[in-house]
Chain A
């Protein structure tokens, strides 16, 4: 399983350690992005640092390190990239995204329940009935723990049950 990325590295045989090579390239990209994002920040004024000095300094060092890492990816042999599984990351991101989207307009109860259902999609072992029961139990527990026991300001239910109002609130950000 861990070597399933090996096929790609054999085709492009000059990349000897794909993890280092691609990892380094991504860091270079990040450094370039940071340089671009901080382009209009003022730099040094005399010997005093400006707001842009430190970000650019770190970005340049990161870029150089990234370059070195990807060059080592060409010179020394390393393991191939492990297979990426899309199911887990996809459903987990979806679950958190759903929660973020719904917690304000729909309240904690609906948001957590739907978020738990989405999370269950991340594993093929999940069973429907079990997930529904477990989701309801967890939601109840969260509602008792966070707003009640810990006294955090979380709204439990939507402001209004009018379908039109709910729809409207779902597409109103901030």
Chain B
């Protein structure tokens, strides 16, 4: 306990430095600014803004990125509530009740309850991250290559099971990501693999290139297809603060959402999206009168918003302690850390305590800033939502182009990003979800390395993954998970086959 306090003090001494405080503020502000744009989620926002953190010291850069992440997430909720277009998948459920509240002239309370819920969830989960960081790090020390490999398998299985649509297709996407990550030099021998003597490929395909292509450019191509019909709430936003009964009604929902989100966030593969869905469903089941949901129930905004923020935060736990990104956004954070020369994992906490604790405390500050800056700025965001898409997308596009180019000063990277944009567009048209692909892409090199080492230690005996207790149970959970997810699907498919014609 004393240790925890001591660490938090160290953390605040880093994050409260004027420079870092400023970076956190700018991150949250810019993150919200971009995140508010319809169809631009946290993933695209972080990918887009990553280059602006290159020139900063590592601690500052990560604090700013964390700020951008929360900002983007909050910006997504604002879009959901005000124009019924979820800025990102984790705020899809917020549209259900949030937009209804806005239509009833209660956009103010909806936005502020989202901010208050997020802030509460942020406070709780910051403490959780701080408290769980140390014990989990000591667990990480028990992990050998076999355990790491199995843990990543489990993470990918979670990602597959939780992806929308067909499990088979999500698995195929993971494999595609793993395969793409093999391009570049082999870790052990340095031999060039599948790079076709293109010098820019000798280091592998950049993850920003993949992320920005598949999420940024492909998203623009998709958005251009839809004719503009935005239902921006024009009514004046009066009465920003929720009333006392509102707060009382939302309090329980915020608490339950926070707990649910915090748990789901730690699990690999899940993250904010599933947390928001689960919290909403749970509230609806708990409610005395479930029919109010979908018609502007304040609990329907409070619960998912708290849950997705709690999950967003606790998903840093596996990243910071085990070095394994539990979802696509965290995968992007790994990339950001690598660019700054930090290898995520248990050694971060012991070797760079200022970075570790500074980042954790800045999470809390980031949440505080969201409440402080966003509520007064709601009017500005509404204005921004009225900017037509024909002006927005060239701006997004050129920022992305310059951003990708500036990573390596390589025009080739821009071309490759455009290609991945087309790939992403094609994937979406064929119902393939790109998020598991990105996770596979980031985990690929790590998985290969640990697989190779584990096989070498076991002298080529693959049963090592099952016979070692920790690894065996992780694999067991992964298999169980896939079976549970696939069984009902097979039954449904078979029924469909028999029913057809």
Contacts and interface: CB of A to CB of B under 8 A. Distances in A.
Interface stretch (B3-11, B178-186, B315-323, B360-368): B178-186
Interface string B152-192: 00000000000000101101100110110010001011010
A62 B411 contact: no
Contacts of A72: 166, 168, 493
B412 to A, nearest CB: 7
Given A100-B405, A103-B405, A23 B431 contact: yes
A138 B395 CA distance: 7
B372 to A, nearest CB: 24
B236 interface: no
B34 interface: no
Given A20-B169, A41-B193, A100-B411, A85 B224 contact: yes
A81 B409 CA distance: 38
A152 B51 CA distance: 9
A23 B432 contact: yes
Contacts of A103: 405, 411, 414
Given A62-B176, A76-B493, A138-B398, A46 B460 contact: yes
Interface residues of A, number: 75
A96 B401 contact: yes
A6 interface: no
B351 interface: no
| Chain A at the B interface: SS class | helix
B398 A61 contact: no
A19 B176 contact: no
A62 B172 contact: yes
B220 interface: yes
A85 B397 CA distance: 18
A172 B128 CA distance: 56
Consensus secondary structure, chain B interface: helix
A159 B398 CA distance: 22
Contacts of B179: 30-31, 34, 55, 58-59, 62
A119 B217 CA distance: 11
Contacts of A49: 448, 451-452, 455-456
Contacts of A146: 51, 402, 406
Contact of A92 (B55, B217, B228): B217
B418 interface: yes
Contacts of B415: 96-97, 100
Given A55-B194, A85-B224, A100-B415, A122 B393 contact: yes
A75 B497 contact: yes
Contact of B456 (A47, A51, A154): A47
A58 B168 contact: no
A148 interface: no
Interface string B375-399: 0000000000000111101110111
Interface size class of B (residues with CB under 8 A): 35 or more
Interface in B63-96: none
A98 B295 CA distance: 48
Given A31-B179, A92-B397, A119-B393, A51 B186 contact: yes
B52 interface: yes
B417 interface: yes
B406 A123 contact: no
Contact of A38 (B193, B414, B431): B193
B397 A51 contact: no
A96 B175 CA distance: 28
Nearest to A174: B199
A142 B395 CA distance: 9
B143 interface: no
B414 A100 contact: yes
Contacts of B289: none
B417 A96 contact: yes
A88 interface: yes
Contacts of B427: 23
Contacts of B389: 123
Contact of A96 (B406, B418, B432): B418
Interface in A56-74: 58-59, 61-62, 65-66, 68-69, 72
Contacts of B414: 96-97, 99-100, 103
B431 A19 contact: yes
A131 B393 CA distance: 12
A82 interface: yes
A65 B448 contact: no
A88 B221 contact: yes
Interface in A80-95: 81-82, 84-85, 87-89, 92-93, 95
17 contacts: A23-B431, A30-B176, A30-B179, A37-B196, A48-B456, A49-B455, A55-B194, A62-B179, A65-B175, A92-B421, A96-B397, A96-B417, A101-B411, A112-B398, A119-B393, A142-B399, A142-B402
Given A93-B421, A119-B394, 16 more contacts: A30-B176, A30-B179, A31-B179, A50-B189, A51-B186, A58-B178, A62-B176, A65-B171, A72-B493, A81-B430, A93-B422, A100-B411, A100-B415, A119-B398, A125-B390, A146-B402
Interface of B: 51-52, 54-55, 166, 168-169, 171-172, 175-176, 178-179, 182, 186, 188-189, 191, 193-194, 196, 217, 220-221, 224-225, 228, 388-391, 393-395, 397-402, 405-406, 409, 411-415, 417-418, 421-422, 425-427, 429-432, 444, 448, 451-452, 455-456, 459-461, 493, 496-497, 500
Interface of A: 19-20, 22-24, 26-27, 30-31, 34, 37-38, 41-42, 46-52, 54-55, 58-59, 61-62, 65-66, 68-69, 72, 75-78, 81-82, 84-85, 87-89, 92-93, 95-97, 99-101, 103-104, 108, 112, 115-116, 119-120, 122-123, 125-126, 130-131, 134-135, 138, 142, 146, 150-154
